[in-house]
Amino acid sequence: MGAAGREGRVAVYGMGYVGKAVAAVMLRAGFEVVGVDVSREKVEELNRGSVRYVEAEVREAILRGLREGSFRATVDGVEASRECGVKVVTVPVYLGRDLQPDFSSFEAAVRAAGEGSEKGDLVVVESSVPPGTTIGLVKPVLEEASGLRVEDELLLAYSPERVYVGRAVKDIEERYPKVVAGVGPRSAEAAVALYSRVAKRGVVVLSSPTAAELEKLAEGVYRDVNIALANELARLAAALGVDYLEVREAANTQPYCHLHMPGVGVGGYCIPVYPRFLTYAASRLGLELPLVELARRINLSMPGYTADLVDAVAGRLGVSEPKVAILGLAFRGGVDDTRLSPTYDLLDALLKKGYGDVVVHDPYVERDAQLEALGVELVKDLEGALRGRDVIVIATDHPEYAGLTLGFLKSASGRERVGVVDGRLVIKDWRSPPPGVVYAAIGRPIAANL
């Protein structure tokens, strides 16, 4: 590391999608950064300059930091904390098999940060957490680990990450104001000073960490609930024989209406998880959140609904054992992030229905352990994935799929008859399918030319 004092060094706990982005913006703002992760393999990759990230700004900032000696990665979170006056925790709170929050990895990161802390240091939690976590868990763990009194001797704040992977650096630096809340005025002041150096849109200070924790989850749950509404309206539109996109475009000309897009499902480690954090916090207070829970059930049902569309298309084609290609493994377009992707649930539904020959295409994902365990091939070449396929399912809105036409899909398949299930409404020429094509979609009636 360079010659900066502890106050000019930031330890970032968790070198995942968010942690790498946070490290990058801190480096770009002139801080020295120590990246902390429990994965020795990931740490070794970073230290030798292998920075796998979809955004060039993140890769460039970390590589420059390595060259200039202002960045290094380590598995030793305590030592990183001793070196740095600021510690930013981005380690996720995971969901266990019972869909309850598992704080173990998150708490371990907080404890390591606390053990290396000195008087006057600042700890900031950026991880999305159930409301009450900063006060109820982080504060006592830090005080026990450090021997320092939070707010009086050790500063503590919550500042939720608000990034969209694929444009995270611009989100932090330019697009959104940074939300912060300290456990007291001194902590809040320190957090404002830190993030004022990176957030050009400024800093919004909330009254308490619990308010900031709830704010972050509310952003995601708003989308989950509205996507569930879009999915219900899309199913109805298809049954009525109309195009949901036509309805949506007209409805959204009204300023109080903001209909979302329907789809195969909701993935990523944000929107599907945040409702669980809210219901967890609510249950501890004796409250129920029936709308939040219902929206989650609706969105979880969409991979099965999509698999039923595959059945309907295969039936129209008259193919008893169709070969299927799924386009898209990442949970959304333009990224390689497959966490909680609905494609996994769609694949599971198809396999349970007896579809024995399925391949998956994704232009961003290099390899995938879950597919390998199932014996499902992940294909990088689009035309190679389409060749010989009877049914093609568009599961992710990758930009590479935006210009697909039914004519191209049929030609690339090499089949006399082919079915297309459009799970992201990307096909524009669907109303006039070429001869031998059956088209079905989430939000549109079936169109066939047989």
Please identify every residue annotated as catalytic: 216, 270
Q: What is the four-CA torsion angle of 44, 364, 345, 332, rounded to 10 degrees?
A: 110
Termini Cα distance of the chain: 67
- DSSP annotation of 340: T
Vertex 233: Cα angle to 231 and 238 (nearest 5)? 95
Return the SS3 of 445: strand
Q: What's the order of all strands across the beta sheet hosting 437-441?
A: 377-379, 358-361, 324-327, 391-394, 418-422, 437-441, 444-449
Give the residue from 65, 81, 62 showing the smallest Cα distance to 11.
Answer: 81
CB 420 within 8 A of CB 449: no
Q: How far apart (Å, rounded) are the C-alpha atoms in residues 136 and 138?
A: 6
Give the residue from 155, 152, 139 showing the smallest Cα distance to 187.
Answer: 155
Look-up of token digits 């976590």: 133
Alpha helices in 9-116 (DSSP H): 17-28, 40-47, 56-68, 77-83, 104-115
**Residues with Cβ < 8 Å from 148, sequence gap 6 or more?**
117, 118, 119, 142, 154
Please provide the DSSP assignment of 129-186 as one string.
--TTHIIIIIHHHHHHHH---BTTTBEEEE------TTSHHHIIIIISPEEEEESSHH
Q: What is the four-CA torsion angle of 270, 342, 339, 220, rounded to 10 degrees?
A: -10
CB 133 within 8 A of CB 99: no
